[in-house]
């Protein structure tokens, strides 16, 4: 019937495995060149080109040209919310390698969901805001409300709530976290919070994926300001410019890169 949204059309676009990989790769909110996006979706450049056209026509992707590069990103934050919500009800894929296991562990701990905090860090931080009456949630858990006390606290952090309220985008939004199966804060306020975390060096981006690393300064400030204590075991560290992390195999601490290298012998 014409009165209903064309869900089947959108579902068909997302339901293709290669296109689903493309959309998921773009969930960090950044632009990705066509060649890299094709590689991440595990399809040929020719097939990727066909998928790009379908996703753009379906309103899920946008593209801009810079010189010879074609840069793709999600068409809107609504697309990101839809993908994240669908992921929360989808079966979790099976990891087949140590690197996949460690990537999923990083994403579960802390990541960006389009332009706001997600993962365990995003959920725990949202819980801390609720406990401290910075935000409140309605009885049916569909919307957050920023309190007057919360506005003062965020203003002290340098987040201009007045400017955020003037935007067309919703100030707060409830977003279902696909790894935690719980809600975290989204909307323009959620985006401003992540931006503050990055500019204040509370978190750092992990370049191979959209995971985030909480810095020592971030641990200190989150506990001081919000009473949020985060475990530091298995923290990522820098080894000669190559990201690695300590993992545990049969109670023995080893470096991830050495473990992988030994498995290839």
Backbone angles phi and psi of 212, in degrees to 5: -125, 145
For residue 97, the model assigns a pLDDT of 66
CB 177 within 8 A of CB 113: yes
Judge if 59 and 143 occupy the same domain. no
In a domain, 39, yes or no: yes
In a domain, 38, yes or no: yes
For residue 116, count other CB atoms closer than 10 A to its CB: 26
Q: Exposure string (b/e) for 219-229, b if CB count within 10 Å is 16 or more?
A: bebbeeebebe
Task: State both tokens at 120.
Answer: 């365990």
In a domain, 92, yes or no: no
Judge if 66 and 128 occupy the same domain. no
In a domain, 236, yes or no: no
Judge if 116 and 70 occupy the same domain. no
Judge if 133 and 188 occupy the same domain. yes
Judge if 141 and 217 occupy the same domain. yes
For residue 147, count other CB atoms closer than 10 A to its CB: 15
Judge if 150 and 209 occupy the same domain. yes
For residue 247, the model assigns a pLDDT of 31
For residue 231, count other CB atoms closer than 10 A to its CB: 10
User: Do strands 242-249 and 252-255 pair parallel, antiparallel, or not at all (unpaired)?
Assistant: antiparallel
Give 33's strand partners: 71
For residue 249, the model assigns a pLDDT of 30
pLDDT tens by residue, 92-140? 666 666 776 777 788 889 998 888 999 999 999 999 999 999 999 887 7
Task: State both tokens at 172.
Answer: 């707060």
Residue ranges in the chain whose pLDDT is less than 70: 1-3, 92-97, 100, 207-208, 232-265
For residue 250, the model assigns a pLDDT of 31
Determine the longest span between alpha carbons in the chain, in angstroms: 61
Q: What percentage of the chain has pLDDT greater than the value 70? A: 81
For residue 262, the model assigns a pLDDT of 35
Judge if 65 and 123 occupy the same domain. no
Q: Exposure string (b/e) for 157-171, b if CB count within 10 Å is 16 or more?
A: eebebeebeeeeeeb
- Find all residues with CB under 8 Å of 54, minimum gap 6, and list them: 13, 19
Residue located via tokens 């201009």: 160
Please give the Cα distance from 13 to 19 (Å, whole number): 7
| Range of the structural domain that residue 145 is part of | 112-230
Question: Number of folded domains in the chain?
Answer: 2
For residue 191, the model assigns a pLDDT of 92
């Amino acid at each position: 019937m014409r009165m209903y949204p064309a869900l089947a059309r959108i579902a068909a676009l997302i339901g293709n495995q290669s296109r689903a990989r493309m959309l998921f790769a773009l969930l960090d909110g950044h632009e990705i060149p066509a060649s890299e996006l094709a590689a991440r979706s595990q399809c040929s450049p020719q097939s990727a080109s066909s998928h790009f056209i379908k996703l753009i026509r379906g309103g899920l992707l946008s593209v801009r040209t810079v010189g010879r590069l074609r840069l793709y990103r999600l068409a809107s934050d609504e697309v990101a919310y839809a993908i994240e919500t669908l992921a929360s009800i989808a079966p979790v894929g099976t990891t087949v390698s140590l690197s996949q296991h460690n990537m999923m562990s990083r994403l579960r701990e802390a990541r960006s969901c389009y332009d706001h905090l997600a993962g365990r860090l995003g959920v725990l931080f949202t819980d801390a805001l609720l406990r401290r009456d910075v935000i409140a949630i309605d009885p049916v858990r569909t919307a957050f409300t920023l309190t007057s006390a919360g506005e003062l606290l965020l203003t002290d952090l340098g987040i201009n709530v007045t400017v955020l309220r003037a935007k067309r985008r919703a100030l707060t939004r409830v977003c279902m976290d696909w790894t935690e199966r719980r809600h975290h804060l989204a909307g323009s306020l959620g985006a401003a919070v992540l931006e503050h975390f990055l500019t204040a060096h509370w978190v750092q981006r992990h370049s191979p994926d959209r995971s985030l690393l909480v810095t020592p300064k971030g641990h200190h400030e989150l506990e001081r300001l919000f009473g949020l204590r985060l475990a530091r075991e298995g923290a990522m560290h820098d080894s000669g410019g190559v990201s690695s992390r300590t993992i545990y195999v049969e109670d023995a601490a080893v470096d991830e890169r050495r473990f992988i290298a030994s498995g290839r012998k």
